[in-house]
Chain A
């Protein structure tokens, strides 16, 4: 009977941690991808200009 409650606690804490960290991770990855795109485009522009 007691372990049921502990299980619930673990599940809830996992939801919190996984939720927060996956969102943060997603944000960091997205930022990296955008930075890469920007750099690529800027290089293309400078090559184009030359």
Chain B
């Protein structure tokens, strides 16, 4: 467990020093929320789309794509700079490497989530029906699951020729019903009636987090050999 924290800390330190990924993600969340703002300006002002529905769907699209971007870059950079070989040579359990990478990705992804939530609230003048904390909590749980499966799939796709395209192709069907649908429903319910309504959805996402964590822990070794 310790090794995982160390790896995560190292990743984050590198990030903070270069600020490369963080600034990219800041801009990314800003621009994607803006895109929604422009695309939905008519729909929202005419009342055709309710803000809670739009918020839950748009936010989770933002979270998913930000996560895809974040996880892909974290692995691609390592592979390109060949620091991955250094990591593999170190006397570290590969599964710890998995957890460490997942943890550092989680920090970044969750930061982007918070930014997106803030930007969305700002640009749509939306207060989330006062349920901001619930939405943040759901975002955190969903991001944990996203990151657990995403780290594994990112490691898989980094072995391929068309890695940029393949990560979304491989990841999105897996997260569709394990993360996105329950989280969107839970977010919507939270805004409508409070987080108590969404217990089943939350349990479902948590269950998938456990499943992905176990699978990742067991199989990560096989992905990174060679």
In the complex they form, do A and B come into direct contact, defined as C-beta atoms under 8 angstroms apart?
no
Spell out B's residues near A (CB within 8 Å).
Answer: none
Q: Which residue numbers of A lie inside 8 Å of B, CB to CB? A: none
